[in-house]
Amino acid sequence: MALVFGLGIPMEVEVSTIVGYVMKCNYNLPYNASYLSEPYVRYQRSTAAADAIDDDEAHSETGRALGRYEIYKMLQSAKPCLLRAICELAATPLNASRGLTAELMHIFLTPSTTTEAYADPADQEYLAAERIGRLGDSCTRAFPECPVNLLDYVSRLE
């Protein structure tokens, strides 16, 4: 079974633009109805050892979850703007009562919320961007390569 989640955000710029992100997750479904009623019982279909298939091995999960820094690496082409967004969010956190989207953005753009090891020494830049924002330094000056604040497209100061 696959679950596909998409989010399209219209942007208020001179040209009509929509930015979209898609996340796809695959889940293993029960491969036999008896798994639902007797999940720990496995029956041999053949008495020959060579013909027997270990169902657990045949249907084992070979993938693993993506880590924060692996996701950040996928956004490498937009790294300056990602760093600025992390900085801006640390400087002015989103109101958690704004719902699931605000919570997900907070989790994604707050690298200090993870205990995950760095995939690369350069990943420390993300924590440094968060520190810059928390200390109240100018995110615009710290990340001049990104001319826009991405959070302005999805939030507003009140």
Least Cα distance to 146 among 122, 129, 158 occurs for 129
| pLDDT tens profile 133-150 | 999 999 999 999 999 888
**How far is it, in rounded angstroms, from Cα 73 to Cα 123?**
9
Average pLDDT over residues 79-100: 85
| pLDDT tens profile 26-85 | 766 666 666 666 656 555 655 554 444 444 444 444 456 778 888 888 888 889 999 999
Residue 67 φ then ψ, to 5°: -90, 170
For the chain, what are the domain ranges?
A: 2-10+19-58, 67-153
- Tell the residue number behind the tokens 């994604």, with chain if given: 108
- Tell the residue number behind the tokens 């090891």, with chain if given: 117
Structure tokens at 113: 């919320």
